[in-house]
Structure 1
């Protein structure tokens, strides 16, 4: 049997990690892996997470299963965090999942059951796992233009033109905030136009929100998602707790499905539980319990929000520092987009050949499409990167 296997495509980011580790240069800079790092290069455990875990360890009396959908309390706090009061909770079905990736996989599985002929539309570019999972599931897929390599902003005209080809019942995947891999976001006015087009086309929105709190703050980062959820009878939302709670290895995510009414909610909830049962039975609980503990306790929540703000402002400071340094070196404002982007990532909009030149000549590691992790920088490495970008002729 196993002799029939064929090699699968290598993960480009993991391959980049291996190259970085093997590089003997002491001044190398890792901007590839999409993990938050502080100024020392560490991914810290947040204060509120440590305290929540201490309480859980002291008080937890069982490791029994919580249910196919996960702990209902986790669903309740995440609905509030992501959706606020934009949608009645009675209209929202939800399941806990192994990370945001698990939520995306379960959402696509649900689409395949409910609308097997639907095409899933993705931004070009998007997070590589989106098309990878869709292709693996054998689903129909199409792209809409999103990133303008000249302006390093959103190609909104191209996006709207491509979405004119959406058919009734098709699914349009949108990034809730902090677009990965570009860092370029739609304005609220632009999102309103996208919503109007999708309503006219009878399309179904699917929101991936993995970085809430990393862009403009918890409430502002959720605004577009709430805008979308309140505008449609049906909407899918995959949310991750990996970044904003810093619990990457706990694999904590949630899939929410906005439904038309209570009857549709009950049916959808049953189908979501069925999908969890087929894929992994019961979802992991520890990370979800940590998140629930924090969000239910006013003091822990306040401390978490304060530390999250420190993290967010730190990335904004790095963005501004890099944009300012490049302006100083080039006497040009062509890199100002770096300060305008949001979240962990920005896309330089250069060629794979230039990216390789940065790696070979300067020890700067970023993904081949020129996506770089701003959180991989610190005050000392920002000038190093700026000089390398200028020296490479980007």
Structure 2
């Protein structure tokens, strides 16, 4: 059987990790892997999560299955985190998933079941795993104009023109905040315009909100999605706890559905759980249980929000400091956009050849499209890093 298989195409980020590990240079720098890092270069366990784990260990009396939907209290709490207190709960449903990636795949399968001829339109560029997930679900996928590489912002006129040409019944994937890989987000006015356009065109939004709390703040980062929810009849959303709760390896996420009415939401939810049964059957419990404990307890929730805000502020400070350093060393405003963008990622806007030279000459590892992890920036060596980047231009 296996003799029929061809070698899998190498994953660029995994290859970068391997090259970094094998590099003997003491001053090497990893800006490729997409996890938050603190000032010591570590990805910490958040204080509130650590306490939640302690309580869970003390109180948990069984490892039995929770059911197809997972932790139902976690699900209800995640609806509140993502959609807010004023959301129409009668039309909203949530299922626990193995991370945000699991939520994306589960919802992609639901699209395939309910509208098999639909095309899912994703921004250009987008997270590299979006296309493989959609195609693995048997969906057609196309791109729409989004990023302006010249100024580091959104090509909103081109985006609007592209969305206006999409046939009714198709699905539009949107990054809820902290666009990966560019860090270029829509303004609230642009979200309102997109929401009206989608409603008028009969297009269904599919929102990937993986970095809530990393951009403008926990509530602010969900504002665009909430505008959509107030405007369109139906919506799909994939939420991740990996980043804002720092539970990466433990895999906690939620697939969320907004239906036109209660009956349709119930039907869609039943089908969603049926799909989950055929993929992973029952979701893992540990991380979702910890998130539930944090969100249920006022003191833990307050501490989590405070630590999350400190993480966000640190990344904002690194963005500004890096942009300032690049301005000093390049004697230009070429890289000022880095300070204006949000989230964990941006693109330097340099060529693949320059990226390779940066790695070969200086041991600085970033993804081939020049995406770098803001949280990986060395706060005490920004001028040194800026000088190395300018040297390869």
- The TM-score, its normalising length taken from structure 1, stands at 0.98
How many residues are aligned here? 393
Matched, 1:240 2:271: no
What is residue 152 of structure 1 aligned with on the other side?
152
Deviation at 1:385, TM superposition (A): 1.9
Matched, 1:51 2:51: yes
Structure 1 distance, partners of 2:173, 2:86, is 20
Equivalent residue runs for 1:58-137 within 5 Å: 58-137=58-137
* Maintained 8 Å contact 1:39/1:378: yes
What is residue 143 of structure 1 aligned with on the other side?
143
Structure 1 distance, partners of 2:169, 2:381, is 48
CA offsets 1:124-178 (integer angstroms, 9 cap, x no match) = 0000110111222331111111111111111112211211221111000000000
Matched, 1:317 2:317: yes
Q: Which moved more, 1:196-205 or 1:119-128?
A: 196-205
Deviation at 1:196, TM superposition (A): 1.7
Structure 2 distance, partners of 1:60, 1:136, is 36
* Maintained 8 Å contact 2:103/2:254: yes
Deviation at 1:378, TM superposition (A): 2.2
Structure 1 distance, partners of 2:229, 2:385, is 40
Structure 2 distance, partners of 1:71, 1:301, is 18
SS of the residue 1:257 aligns to: strand
Matched, 1:6 2:9: no
CA offsets 1:218-261 (integer angstroms, 9 cap, x no match) = 00011111111221111000000000000001100000000011
* Maintained 8 Å contact 2:100/2:238: yes
CA offsets 1:263-291 (integer angstroms, 9 cap, x no match) = 11211111111011000110111111000
| Long gaps (5+) in structure 1 | none
What is residue 165 of structure 2 aligned with on the other side?
165
Root-mean-square deviation (CA, aligned residues, Å) is: 1.0
* Maintained 8 Å contact 1:94/1:254: yes
SS of the residue 2:349 aligns to: coil
Deviation at 1:381, TM superposition (A): 3.1
* Maintained 8 Å contact 1:147/1:155: yes
Structure 2 distance, partners of 1:278, 1:138, is 15
Equivalent residue runs for 1:214-293 within 5 Å: 214-293=214-293
What is residue 347 of structure 1 aligned with on the other side?
347
Structure 2 distance, partners of 1:7, 1:54, is 44
Deviation at 1:350, TM superposition (A): 2.1
SS of the residue 1:230 aligns to: helix
- The TM-score, its normalising length taken from structure 2, stands at 0.98
What is residue 41 of structure 2 aligned with on the other side?
41
Deviation at 1:330, TM superposition (A): 2.4
Deviation at 1:94, TM superposition (A): 1.3
SS of the residue 2:219 aligns to: helix
Structure 1 distance, partners of 2:142, 2:56, is 45
